Structure 1
Amino acid sequence: MLALSLVALALHGALAGLFYTFSMSVMPGLNAIDPAQAEAAMRSINRKILNPWLYLVFLGSPLAALVAGLLADAPAAFWFFAAAAVNFVGSFLVTVAINVPMNNAFEAGTMPWKDYASRWTAWNTLRAAAGVVSLVLMGAGLTAL
């Protein structure tokens, strides 16, 4: 139980860090260069980020928290379920419903950089915040074990 909870904590930390890094450094860095270069770089990033390591963290963090909640006793279970719920809504659903469709429109050339960058970053920052909240909730669950 402890090992699974620690794995879930690490997965949440990796996901929060990924989203945080994009909002706080990658996107500002891309916004500081020529838009055509930024577009090419972001398209490359969007293609390369789709890999098994992303899927492990992206799908694994809410699932690991959910399983930890199912295996834990109260009050730890509450915190793990809360982490899974915040992660699912704030990271998974936002990604699927908002960021991925924007990525697809951007890739197709129907959304220019000037429209894409600020909107995508705003939603990504929400994902980062949800990731941090989920991480804290996982930590609270660990202290309740």
Structure 2
Amino acid sequence: MLVLALVTLLLHGALMGLFYAFSMSVMPGLNAIDPAHAGAAMRSINRKILNPWLFIVFMGSPLAALVTGIVTGSVWFYAAAVVNGVGSFLVTVAINVPMNNALDAGTMPYQKYAPRWTRWNTIRTVACAVSLVLTGIGLTAL
């Protein structure tokens, strides 16, 4: 039970860190260079980030919180699963991925893409921070 809760905490922290790094360093760095180069770099990042490590953290965070909630009966883990599921998973699938696809297809210029994508990524970061805190509270309540 404790190991499962710790894995849940680790997954939420890793996902929050990933989103945080994008909003606080990757996107500002890309915004500081020529938009054509920034768009090309972001398209490359979007292709390379689709790997098993991302999927373990991205899909594992809400799933681990849900399983931990079931195993422990703790509402804190259920809450973390919901916040992460809506604020990270749903936002990614409904907003960030379609924008990535539009950038890749050339139907959205980088100058329009970057501020909107970063705004929604920051929302994902906040949701992951909240779910991380909820997971931490759940862990301390075990």
The two structures have a TM-score, normalised by structure 2, of: 0.99
Using the TM superposition, give the Cα deviation of residue 36 of structure 1 relative to its aligned residue in structure 2, in angstroms.
1.0
In 2, Cα distance between the equivalents of 1:134 and 1:58? Answer: 13
* Residue identity matched to 1:97: A
1:45-64 equivalences in 2 (<5 Å) = 45-64=45-64
Partner of 2:114: 117
Partner of 2:33: 33
* Residue identity matched to 1:44: S
Using the TM superposition, give the Cα deviation of residue 71 of structure 1 relative to its aligned residue in structure 2, in angstroms.
0.5
In 1, Cα distance between the equivalents of 2:94 and 2:78? Answer: 22
Q: Which runs of 5+ in 2 are unaligned?
A: none
Q: Which runs of 5+ in 1 are unaligned?
A: none
The CA deviation string for residues 74-114 of structure 1, in whole angstroms up to 9 with x for no partner, is: xxx11000000000000000000000000001100000011
The alignment status of 1:134 with 2:110, answered yes or no, reads no
Partner of 1:11: 11
In 1, Cα distance between the equivalents of 2:135 and 2:92? Answer: 21
The CA deviation string for residues 47-82 of structure 1, in whole angstroms up to 9 with x for no partner, is: 000000000000001000000000103xxx110000
130, 139, 143: which one pairs with 2:140? 143
Count, aligned residues: 142
56, 75, 80: which one pairs with 1:83? 80
In 1, Cα distance between the equivalents of 2:134 and 2:13? Answer: 11
Using the TM superposition, give the Cα deviation of residue 120 of structure 1 relative to its aligned residue in structure 2, in angstroms.
0.2
* Residue identity matched to 1:81: Y
* Residue identity matched to 2:77: F
Partner of 1:103: 100
The two structures have a TM-score, normalised by structure 1, of: 0.97
Identity of aligned residues (%): 75
In 1, Cα distance between the equivalents of 2:21 and 2:82? Answer: 22
Q: Report SS of the residue matched to 2:25.
A: helix
